[in-house]
A and B are shown apart, each in its own frame.
Chain A
């Protein structure tokens, strides 16, 4: 059980008053495993990631992260678990514009003592560990760490976001279309770095993208539409859009 980083069983989810959006009988991720999940927009992937990350409260079925059933945790408990054990990379706008690059990377250490402890163990201090990660991700210029986020290219910003997801060795990296804002060269470089770093830290990777061309880099790939037994929503709205603008 401890080798299972993520385990979903009979997961069902519907927005308040809406049709069943997700109905996934099983999905799991072993420690160190890298899973490519193909999900075009409207497939419910944002909702799935919200559930896995513990931002959305589970309704039916079981989601276990590192052996802990999310349904038994409070909202604060799920937030704490996410802070300590998950690193998230979005498609874009990952960074807080008012913080320096370094402060953005060390941000998870502010919200999780566990992440901070592990970062200190690895690098001596969160800042030193952040500089080390930036260095490894090809952001060599030491002045870059103090630079405002606006000064960076999109490719550099995504790598800073990656460094932030990796700091303090979380067990699970969740990447939501992290390469779709990048050109093909930057995309390949980003993917190589991400897979390399995940391999080095031993974290599991849940990588969601619509771009099937990337699937070959991963241990395993799946299509969310094949996993999901729920019918596609009849509305033209992309799945995952809360109708009432509010969680149940």
Chain B
């Protein structure tokens, strides 16, 4: 191939422009690949917000509604479920474990989850990672609270901090459980899941703070029992919001789900978290597609940069074309020279972009995971990157045909003498 070295030398001669073009192609490709990596990572993180749990059971409503309030702490349960119903499901022979969840209170905008210490052993996310404490211990005392990483970071809490829970879920509440303050006993390590934004207390604690609130608001202080009294009270919950179910065999999931959904005593709903998460993601997927579309357009702009730089250089290169023709170059040589220039620019530019992005992810990926809990699926270059490089290069070859065709016609018309 005689033209490739010529194209390389010609580009090197215009290296300032060529470098800028490479930069714009590289950046746009890095953006596209970056968006795609984050998208995949976000999707994977999202779909693995909760793993290891075979079913989530709540009062009968919608699948997404149950998923949103039980896992994402968004929205409210329309109904609670009674303790006997919970025990009926928990007692089934194919059920390995259950974790009750009780929602409805909040602390400065963060949801409070009443549960048992089993939650910390059975809640799994990502590749089956379990929750770990960054500091302190799980709750032992009635008024202990374990807070998520984001709660601790946002509110600046450390172990030992006294906190007051609010009745209801507004960020500013006028009904505070100020008579029964909690103490932060532990802070969880970041997970990138809604756990980070949750204040965990024990199930009896939820009961305890609501003693005397049976009417929905606090009765006069004189009638409500003291904190010490509460420690000695029987705080058996009468109802909970939802519960997580782990089965002895995953194959039983559909059978148990059907059994729960047809439970005669009370209208219940069981969902399979993975299925519900995928369904929810497909709702959110529109935004994700918009992001990809923007990134694709940016790559288009990068390619346009190649076209512009080549078209503007064309007039000053007419002499070059005439010299090549005089030496015996055919018009298609001129055409191929220009196409190979745009192709080279795109190939080198997109390869640089992909390489830079992956080096960046390699360097910053763990920080990203710690900060946002976003585990990037593909740390190394994959098929997608090759497809992007190939696609961008092919597109540049096609785009290069525009200036190349003009140069071809000029080369044919000019012949040996340049008419300027």
Chain A residues near B (Cβ < 8 Å)? 46, 49-50, 53, 55-56, 75-76, 79-80, 82-84, 86, 88, 90, 93-99, 103, 107-108, 110-112, 164, 176, 240-242, 245-247
Contact = CB atoms under 8 A, between A and B. Distances in A.
Given A96-B320, A98-B9, A99-B9, A46 B326 contact: no
B323 to A, nearest CB: 6
B330 interface: yes
> Max chain A CB contacts within 10 Å: which of B6, B10, B324, B416?
B416
Interface of B: 2, 6, 9-10, 12-14, 319-320, 322-331, 333, 409, 412-413, 415-417, 419
A110 B2 contact: yes
Nearest to A50: B415
Given A111-B2, A246-B413, A53 B323 contact: no
A111 B328 CA distance: 6
B16 to A, nearest CB: 13
Given A79-B325, A93-B323, A241-B419, 20 more contacts: A46-B417, A55-B326, A55-B415, A55-B416, A79-B330, A86-B328, A88-B326, A93-B319, A97-B320, A98-B10, A108-B327, A110-B2, A111-B327, A111-B328, A112-B328, A176-B417, A242-B413, A246-B412, A246-B413, A247-B415
B330 A75 contact: yes
16 contacts: A53-B416, A79-B325, A79-B329, A84-B328, A86-B328, A88-B327, A96-B9, A98-B13, A108-B327, A111-B2, A111-B328, A112-B328, A240-B417, A245-B413, A245-B419, A247-B413
> Max chain A CB contacts within 10 Å: which of B319, B324, B328?
B328
A97 B327 contact: no
Contacts of B330: 75-76, 79
Given A94-B323, A95-B323, A110-B2, A56 B328 contact: no
Contacts of B320: 96-97
Nearest to B411: A55
A246 B331 CA distance: 13
A95 B328 CA distance: 14
A86 B416 CA distance: 13
A82 B419 CA distance: 21
B404 to A, nearest CB: 17
A56 B412 CA distance: 8
B2 A55 contact: no
A96 B409 CA distance: 20
Nearest to A57: B412
Nearest to A91: B417
Contacts of B10: 96, 98
Contact of A50 (B2, B13, B328, B417): B417
Contacts of B6: 96, 99, 110
Given A56-B415, A98-B9, A80 B328 contact: yes
A58 to B, nearest CB: 13
B413 A50 contact: no
Contacts of B2: 110-111
A108 to B, nearest CB: 5
A103 B10 CA distance: 12
A53 B416 CA distance: 9
B414 to A, nearest CB: 9
A24 B13 CA distance: 43
A26 B320 CA distance: 33
Contacts of A110: 2, 6
B325 A107 contact: no
Nearest to A51: B415
Contact of B409 (A49, A79, A83, A246): A246
Closest 7 CB pairs of A and B: A83-B328, A98-B13, A55-B415, A88-B326, A111-B328, A110-B2, A46-B417
A87 to B, nearest CB: 9
A90 B326 contact: yes
A143 to B, nearest CB: 19
A111 B416 contact: no
A50 B9 contact: no
Nearest to B325: A55
A108 B323 contact: no
A49 B329 contact: no
A107 B326 CA distance: 11
B413 A107 contact: no
A50 B409 contact: no
A98 B14 CA distance: 9
A97 B419 CA distance: 19
B337 to A, nearest CB: 11
A27 to B, nearest CB: 18
Contacts of A108: 327-328
A161 to B, nearest CB: 9
Contacts of B331: 75
A90 B416 contact: yes
B331 to A, nearest CB: 8
Nearest to B322: A90
Contacts of B9: 96, 98-99, 103
Contacts of B415: 46, 50, 53, 55-56, 247
